[in-house]
């Protein structure tokens, strides 16, 4: 039979990452592709197929060595049907039956889910949410995604579309969001929005990594900036805490690298605004698995799915 592996695919707003993992979820190799100029649906599908086949060839593996291919996608995904409802920040994917299409082309079982669900699955099994049975895991980047663990299982909802914390409205008449709504959390703490705010605050072009570095060195402007981001996030999470009563909230993605300045404000807002029992119980942690969480979660999904 030969040794078994899993291939994980993580599609983000700016890049596509493909990795080979063993059955202990260790990454053997990974490749990254810039997708900012490759938003064409058919071209992206072709790249995924080529990347999977290149991994097989370069590692001298055949399809029988692969337990399955797991895909994490940034949007609303029907896990059971292997279909894309929509990708909020990437046009042209509505209703695409990507799972069956790739399975037919590759001849390998294909499993797919929302990328934040997979980050959540990884952090629950191997990371910061380990030991909890009720968890909410957020990934902050181009968009704001989240996954929910309820009773030790990933909660997907009636249409496999649960967990859209980024589209909780904070303002009845706020700015228009890519989802079609108004005043969503994502319009306050999505990368493009907070980058524009950072440049306004500092009066120059500056990266979020630079703002995080300044905050770690005690810069007052940077600390105030991340406190503002944390306040918006904490208000949205107050509603989540009151509704779901989780053991733990895990915050990941690039924005989470702001660290203490961001997380302390989130904790402060939840403590002051959430209902007493829920607020006292919940813990807030930074994600442990970093940028590989989605790839690891996709592999966990494949292994769980292959067991039936």
Reduce the DSSP state of residue 45 to 3 states and report it.
helix
pLDDT at 62: 92
| pLDDT tens figures, 118-171 | 999 999 999 999 999 999 999 998 889 999 999 999 998 888 888 999 999 999
**Residue 264 contacts residue 253 (beta carbons within 8 Å):** no
Provide φ and ψ at 170, rounded to 5°: -100, -10
Confidence band for 282, pLDDT divided at 50, 70 and 90? very high
| pLDDT tens figures, 17-72 | 999 999 999 999 999 888 766 567 788 888 899 999 999 999 999 999 999 999 99
Residue 5 has pLDDT above 90, yes or no: yes
Neighbour-count burial for 87-115, b at 16+ CB within 10 Å, e otherwise: bbbbeebeebebbebbbeebebbbbbbbb
pLDDT at 236: 96
C-alpha pair distances (Å), 66 with each of 7, 84, 185, 206: 7, 24, 39, 43
pLDDT at 39: 60
215 contact partners, CB below 8 Å, separation of at least 6: 222, 223, 225, 226, 258, 259, 261
pLDDT at 50: 93
**Residue 134 contacts residue 149 (beta carbons within 8 Å):** yes
Cα–Cα distance measured from residue 239 to residue 270, given in angstroms and rounded to the nearest whole number: 9
For the segment 298-303, the average pLDDT, to the nearest whole number, is 96
Q: Quick one: tokens of 171?
A: 């303002």
Cα–Cα distance measured from residue 206 to residue 221, given in angstroms and rounded to the nearest whole number: 13
Q: Kindly report the length of the chain.
A: 308
With left for phi above 0 and alpha for psi between -120 and 50, is residue 43 left, alpha or beta? Answer: alpha
**Residue 13 contacts residue 37 (beta carbons within 8 Å):** no
| pLDDT tens figures, 75-121 | 888 888 888 887 766 777 788 898 988 999 999 999 999 999 999 99
CB atoms within 10 A of CB 306: 14
pLDDT at 11: 87
The packing angle between helices 191-202 and 220-244, to 10°, is 150
Give the mean pLDDT of the chain.
91
If you search the block for the tokens 């909230």, which residue do you land on? Answer: 249
pLDDT at 89: 65
- pTM of the predicted protein model: 0.91
pLDDT at 134: 97
27 contact partners, CB below 8 Å, separation of at least 6: 19, 20, 21, 292, 295, 296
For the segment 175-192, the average pLDDT, to the nearest whole number, is 91
Confidence band for 305, pLDDT divided at 50, 70 and 90? confident
| pLDDT tens figures, 200-234 | 999 999 999 999 999 999 999 999 999 999 999 99
CB atoms within 10 A of CB 218: 9
Which three-class secondary structure string do you get for 59-112? CCCCHHHEEEEEEEECCEEECCCCEEEECCCCCCCCCCCHHHHHHHHHCCCEEE
Poorest-pLDDT segment among 12-16, 34-38, 145-149, 266-270: 34-38
Q: Quick one: tokens of 212?
A: 């995080």
Cα–Cα distance measured from residue 133 to residue 149, given in angstroms and rounded to the nearest whole number: 7
Cα–Cα distance measured from residue 190 to residue 266, given in angstroms and rounded to the nearest whole number: 16
Q: Which domains does the chain have, with CATH numbers?
A: 5-118+292-307 (3.30.420.40), 132-287 (3.30.420.40)
pLDDT at 244: 97
Confidence band for 1, pLDDT divided at 50, 70 and 90? low
Calculate the dihedral angle through the C-alpha atoms of 126, 132, 135, 138, rounding to the nearest 10 degrees. Answer: -30
Cα–Cα distance measured from residue 215 to residue 122, given in angstroms and rounded to the nearest whole number: 28
231 contact partners, CB below 8 Å, separation of at least 6: 265, 269
Cα–Cα distance measured from residue 28 to residue 91, given in angstroms and rounded to the nearest whole number: 32
């Amino acid at each position: 039979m030969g040794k078994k592996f899993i291939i994980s695919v993580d599609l983000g707003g700016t890049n596509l990452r493909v990795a080979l993992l063993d059955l202990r979820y260790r990454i053997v190799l990974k490749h990254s592709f810039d997708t900012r100029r490759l938003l064409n649906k058919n071209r992206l599908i072709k790249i995924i197929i080529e990347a999977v086949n290149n991994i097989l060839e370069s590692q001298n593996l055949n399809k029988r060595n692969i337990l399955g291919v797991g895909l994490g996608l940034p949007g609303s995904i029907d896990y059971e049907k292997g279909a894309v409802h929509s990708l909020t920040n990437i046009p042209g994917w509505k209703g695409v039956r990507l799972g069956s299409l790739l399975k037919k082309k590759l001849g390998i079982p294909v499993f797919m889910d929302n990328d934040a669900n997979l980050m959540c699955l990884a952090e629950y099994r191997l990371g910061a949410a380990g030991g909890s049975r009720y968890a909410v895991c957020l990934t902050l980047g181009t968009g704001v995604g989240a996954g929910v663990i309820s009773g030790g299982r990933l909660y997907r909802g009636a249409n496999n579309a649960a967990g859209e914390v980024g589209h909780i409205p904070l303002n009845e008449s706020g700015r228009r969001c890519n989802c079609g709504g108004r005043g969503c959390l994502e319009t306050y703490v999505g990368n493009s929005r907070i980058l524009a705010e950072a440049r306004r605050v500092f009066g120059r072009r500056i990266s979020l990594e630079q703002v995080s570095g300044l905050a770690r060195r005690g810069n007052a402007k940077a600390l105030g900036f991340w406190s503002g981001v944390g306040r918006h996030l904490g208000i949205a999470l107050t509603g989540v805490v009151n509704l779901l009563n989780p053991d733990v909230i895990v915050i990941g993605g690039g924005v989470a690298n702001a660290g203490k300045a961001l997380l302390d404000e989130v904790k402060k807002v939840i403590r002051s605004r959430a209902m007493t029992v829920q607020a006292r119980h919940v813990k807030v942690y930074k994600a442990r698995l970093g940028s590989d969480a989605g790839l690891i979660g996709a592999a966990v999904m494949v292994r769980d799915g292959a067991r039936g």
